[in-house]
Amino acid sequence: MTQKVEDTGETGTGVVWRPVLLIAGVVAVIHLAVAARYGWHRDEFYYVLTGRHPAWGYVDQPPLTPALARLAAASPGGVLPLRILAVAAEVGCVLLAAKLAAELGGRRRAQLITAAAVAACPAFVAASVLFGTTVVDQVCWLAVLVATARALRLGTIPAWLLAGLLAGLGLENKDTIAALLVGIALGLVVTRRAVLRTPGPWLAAVTALLIALPNILWNASYGWPWPAVRMAGVLSGRAGNALTQVPELLVLLTGPPLLVLGVIGVRRLCAVAGRPHRWLLVVAITAVVFIAVTSGKSYYAAPMLPGLFAAGAVRVAEADTRDGRRSWPIAIAATAVFAIVVGLPVFPPKVTNSIGLSSTVMETYGWPEYVRQIVSVADRYPAGTVIFTGNYGEAGALSLLGPAEGLHNPVGSGHNAYGFWGPPPGGDDTVLCVGEFTPEYLRRFWSQVTEIAPLTLPDGLSDEETRQGAAMYLCRQPHGTWAQLWPDLAHLD
């Protein structure tokens, strides 16, 4: 049984798939060309390792991305299968953006502008440099936006159930999608209240909640504050305040030309013609308020941008001026070039490092060299000697890349989920500590701390590890057993 809402004047149209697929194909080719140029990112190691500890949740994320990372890592090709997933998510965002424009009544030109804008947007380009919760979160936001727009147009129970299903999957990937769902709920209350008198939105909410329930129960099993709440508090404290996060979102992660397109979209949604889709404006406002109030990272709110791009593209296509037909392709292409240069590993590592283009890109370089340095030191000690690392990236690199280099030592860390998993197997009398430690910190746990050597990158390059003084230390004479030391060694950040 289906139920229609009142006529709102919405006129969804079909997607012009051929040119949209061409844009998506160009995106795929560009990203795949450099997908595995440098190597693994620390977060990718972590996602794979958490995926190998199946659970309904982890201290810093729900289970979807780790499960996908584990499956991808089981395929041959090293990091490439994970990067293919990241590129697929980026391509999905481009296709869904065109569909969103179509749901807003946009025809060919509006759809192409929206798809190209998302393809060129620095926030989306940079996210796809590695596979993780962020790039999956982006495609989840787009899917929920499209499904909600479609459900509002059709007014049928199946359409709303699809929106709820996608929202639930998004909640099993990253908790920040809750900002989108709150924005949609507020948008319906403010602009489409009559819809809430139909069962569709409520059934969608129940569906999303049921899908997210296993992760909720996992968090609840640890008592209050839930692990996810504790982690959110830590990240909020590190991200900075809204005075830096919001401008970064609007300028650096959007790009000035696309910011103009977004402003046009805001004006469109505020006008009479945009009234049926004004809920998208409420979503955008909610997302910005979310990062401002919580001091969340600026890219958390970036997936709301396509809604504004789509509305702006509809307005631009309606104007259909000669100058507009020339200027918008040029502006979007210029933004794409900027995003590619800054966000992807298109240059040799020396160039990227010397001009400081992207710390994230440099964090994908040098992990095999780190592992070889550590293995060369670990070979001096018995195979059962525990290697204890400062962060999950180092632990993940040793666990995934170490065996090929002959490393068979137990590896542990106190960082995030590793801290929840408990101490590594092996003795604590002699431990090789690796990472961004200081001797003063290590002496809280071992009486004898000897620095062996710093961790370095080839050719004098630097990344976050080397800039923070990562080194290898031999630690002896512990101040207790692993179980006694662990509450202070485990940490969230």
The 10s digit of each residue's pLDDT in 303-328 is: 999 999 999 999 999 987 776 688 99
On whether both 343 and 381 belong to a single domain, the answer is: no
Predicted confidence at residue 8, as pLDDT, reads 46
Predicted confidence at residue 1, as pLDDT, reads 39
The 10s digit of each residue's pLDDT in 436-476 is: 999 999 999 999 999 999 999 988 888 888 888 899 999 99
Predicted confidence at residue 243, as pLDDT, reads 63
Predicted confidence at residue 485, as pLDDT, reads 96
Give the residue-averaged pLDDT of 199-211.
98
On whether both 264 and 385 belong to a single domain, the answer is: no
Q: Which of 107, 102, 110 is nearest to 142 (CA)?
A: 102
On whether both 104 and 187 belong to a single domain, the answer is: yes
Average pLDDT, the chain: 93
Write out the residue range of the structural domain in which residue 458 sits: 367-489
On whether both 118 and 201 belong to a single domain, the answer is: yes
On whether both 180 and 264 belong to a single domain, the answer is: yes
On whether both 337 and 427 belong to a single domain, the answer is: no
**Domain final residue pick, 349, 382, 410:** 349
487 token code pair? 């509450």
The 10s digit of each residue's pLDDT in 106-122 is: 999 999 999 999 999 99
On whether both 119 and 220 belong to a single domain, the answer is: yes
Predicted confidence at residue 241, as pLDDT, reads 61
Q: Which of 244, 246, 241, 264 is nearest to 300 (CA)?
A: 246
On whether both 152 and 271 belong to a single domain, the answer is: yes
The 10s digit of each residue's pLDDT in 171-193 is: 999 999 999 999 999 999 999 99
Q: Label residues 291-311 b or e (16+ Cβ within 10 Å = b).
A: bbebbbbbbbbbbbbbbbbbb
Q: pTM of the entire structure?
A: 0.94
Give the residue-averaged pLDDT of 383-403.
96
On whether both 239 and 164 belong to a single domain, the answer is: yes
- Please tell me the distance from the alpha carbon of residue 144 to that of residue 470, in angstroms, as a whole number: 42
Q: Which of 2-11, 33-42, 153-162, 416-425 has the lowest mean pLDDT?
A: 2-11
- Please tell me the distance from the alpha carbon of residue 319 to that of residue 138, in angstroms, as a whole number: 29
Beta strands 430-435 and 386-389: pairing type? parallel
Beta strands 386-389 and 411-413: pairing type? parallel
On whether both 395 and 321 belong to a single domain, the answer is: no
CA-CA-CA-CA dihedral for 348, 351, 355, 361, to nearest 10: 20
**Could you give the number of structural domains in the chain?**
2
On whether both 289 and 414 belong to a single domain, the answer is: no
On whether both 338 and 441 belong to a single domain, the answer is: no
Predicted confidence at residue 465, as pLDDT, reads 85
Model confidence at 3, pLDDT cuts 50, 70, 90, reads very low
411 bridge partner residues:
387
